[in-house]
Structure 1
Amino acid sequence: MDSIGSYLKKHTEALVKDVGLEAACELTGKSKATLGRYYSDSDEHADRFMPVDAVAALEEAARYPHVTGALAELRGITMSYDSERKNAQGGGVNSDVIALSQRFAMLMGEYQQSIEDGVITINEAKRLLRETLALQHVLIDMKLHLEEESGS
């Protein structure tokens, strides 16, 4: 088995263990044996991977999106995980537009303070990054609300 396959199988196992084997069976409709094959490192199961709908169901119940995180790492993508999801509670697109304006204003305020002396320090960069990630969360929520409203 290649290193990518092995890496994904390890994270699949972590996901199943995070949720619990019995609960994972219920959530996915798969047997214990089938779930075990998805993360088995034996040669006979090297080409078996958990279907994406099963991963999504398990990650919704898990404390951390293990497989999604692994896929992001393999692509060199930084993932920001925020279990709080402040912007996800209702409101729809109109609330998202307001939140987007507020977050953007906060980002610009942080930028203004950071650039006043002509140098962005490490702490200032961290604050800018936090604001950028918060803005990204609002955009993701807005995208989801727009897709929901358009039936996509």
Structure 2
Amino acid sequence: MSLHGRYLKKHTEALVKDVGIENACELTGKSKATLGRYYSDNDEHADRFMPVDAVAALEAKSSYPHVTSALAELNGIMLSYDDKKPNKEGGINSDVVALSQRFAMLMGEYNQSIEDGIISVNEAKRLLKETTELQKVLIDMKLHLEHETTE
């Protein structure tokens, strides 16, 4: 399987887990087994990916657009949330505090992960989770900055 394919499957898995497997089945009309095949890295499922309409249905209910952001990253595109999407309370100062905290958590995870000189799969998953959380804070910060520059 290509590196891009693995990357998309990991983000598809994150999306399904974000929404919850039962909710994902209900929202997409797919079975647990079918959803599992969409993010399975087994060779027999290498060419199976979640349909776009299913991704859209799940991302509408998820806390983060996992697959959309993965597709954008693979193509060198940066995403920006629509103005209609509600922004979290607070401002730049609270964003800077949150950014500092999230970065500290990421560095703590990295320090713990690299201690033995090898980053295991589970450690990489924890680092990926922290990186995604850091990205969310940066998006909120970007929205606050854009809001301040348009007033």
Both structures adopt the same fold (TM-score exceeding 0.5): yes
- The alignment's C-alpha RMSD in Å is 3.1
Identity %: 73
Matches within 5 A, 1:49-64: 49-64=49-64
Residue number in structure 1 paired with 2:33: 33
Taking structure 1 as reference, are residues 53 and 73 closer, same or farther at Cα in structure 2, changes over 3 Å only?
A: same
Q: Distance in 2 between matches of 1:81 and 1:63?
A: 13
- The answer on whether the counterparts of 1:35 and 1:50 sit within 8 Å (CA) in structure 2 is yes
- Measured after TM superposition, the shift of residue 82 of structure 1 is 6.0
Q: Any gaps of 5 or more consecutive residues in structure 2? A: 87-141
Larger Rg: 1
Q: In the comparison of the two structures, how many residue pairs are matched?
A: 97
1:73-104 per-residue CA deviation (whole Å, 9 max, x = no partner) reads 00101112369625xxxxxxxxxxxxxxxxxx
The one-letter code of the counterpart of 1:24 is A
User: So what's the TM-score if we normalise by structure 2?
Assistant: 0.57
Deviation digits for residues 37-68 of structure 1 (CA, Å, limit 9, x no counterpart): 00000000000000000000000000000000
Q: Partners of 1:21 and 1:11 in 2: how far apart?
A: 14
Are 1:20 and 2:36 an aligned pair?
A: no
Counterpart Cα distance in 1 of 2:69 and 2:4: 13
Structure 1 unmatched ranges of 5 or more: 87-125, 135-152
Mapped pair 1:81 → 2:81: yes
Which deviations, in whole Å up to 9, do the C-alpha atoms of 1:16-46 show, x marking residues without a partner? 0000000000000000000000000000000
**Deviation for aligned residue 1:133:** 9.2
